Amino acid sequence: MPRNYNVDGFFRDLPRKAATAQDKTDAAVRLIRDDDAEKRAELTASLRAARLERNSDESAAAPSPREKKPRR
């Protein structure tokens, strides 16, 4: 079987080894971006949950200070 034989399944998902310095840099950038995206998604979810909790507490405790203006 040739070395570059495309196999379906588990082994197809493994990343290829970087051949050049640019490939290594690109792979490192992808890893950093993926990690940052995961962290950003986790922080966004936790901040959204905290904001929803805070807003639900405020809305239950007191009515909105704004009065609705009549439409013309």
Q: Is residue 5 part of a domain?
A: no
Question: pLDDT tens digits, residue range 30-41?
Answer: 999 999 999 999
Domain count, the chain: 1
CB 24 within 8 A of CB 30: no
Q: Is residue 12 part of a domain?
A: no
Q: Is residue 25 part of a domain?
A: yes
Q: Is residue 65 part of a domain?
A: no
Q: Is residue 36 part of a domain?
A: yes
Q: Is the overall model pTM greater than 0.75, yes or no?
A: no
CB 6 within 8 A of CB 12: yes
Q: Which domain holds residue 49?
A: 19-55
Q: Is residue 38 part of a domain?
A: yes
Question: pLDDT tens digits, residue range 37-72?
Answer: 999 999 999 999 999 998 887 666 655 556 777 777
Q: Is residue 60 part of a domain?
A: no
